[in-house]
Amino acid sequence: MHEEGALRVRFPNVSNRDALEAVIVNTAGGMAGGDRFDLDIAVGSGAKLTITTAAAEKIYRSLGPDTEIRVKLGIGSGGTLGWLPQETILFDQIRLRRSIEADLAPDASLLLAEGVVFGRSAMGETLAHGHFFDRWRVRRDGALIFAESLRLDDAIAEQLRQRAVAGGGGAIASASVLKIPGDEAAVAAVRAKEKDFAGEVGVSAWNGLALARLVAPDGAALHRDLIAVLTAFGNMPLPRLWLN
């Protein structure tokens, strides 16, 4: 383990579980224009690791330069990784570029969840303008199996009101929960919870992976729905901080 800058990693006592749990702490309390975080995580053969964050990450406005987050995930043969950070809260006039690159061995498992909140509704905040670019690339045995890019530019609030984007939802989890391997049984488990969701949830499976997308009216509702989806997918316990 190597730490640098404002990033710290802590390992709470999880002796009653069969997987190591890591908690990422940003001692700076947030990120602003010009800040850059690089995270490189490797899970060895047969190992199990769940990673979360101590709190929701806050991305503050930028006076010009981008805020950058780069995540690299590597999972060895028979390894299991849960990349489950708490939500990212975006403030007005942000400029955020985030990339997630995952490389899996043929028999590795991955559960990847990312939630984004566009302004804290409880504080009367809205994200009217800004720039958000999110890029995901997942490879198994070197072959690309999942690729997605999301870009919201300038009048973000206006774009979120469009039905095909977020239908007016103040919170959105883009490509929110990805499960590999995933199948129709995982899809059915999520759909069985449909009546309990506070927002809208769509889920599907193809080519050995399952993907759920969520849109909710605020961050609290999004958090509850994410817990429900992750529990339904059910291949690893949720981090304790998610349930506090």
Of the segments 20-24, 74-78, 229-233, which one has the largest average pLDDT value?
74-78
Q: Write the CB contacts of 69 (distance below 8 Å, at least 6 apart in sequence).
A: 31, 36, 37, 39, 96, 97, 98, 99
**pLDDT given for residue 217 in this prediction:** 84
Closest CA to 169 of 109, 139, 227, 126: 126
**Per-residue pLDDT at 16 exceeds 70:** no
**Per-residue pLDDT at 174 exceeds 60:** no
Of 61-75, 110-124, 130-144, the range with the lowest mean pLDDT is: 110-124
CB-CB contact of 103 with 73 (8 Å): yes
Q: Spell out the domain ranges in the chain.
A: 7-243
The band of 27, judged by pLDDT with boundaries at 50, 70 and 90, is very high
| pTM (predicted TM-score) | 0.91
**Per-residue pLDDT at 35 exceeds 90:** yes
**Per-residue pLDDT at 11 exceeds 80:** yes
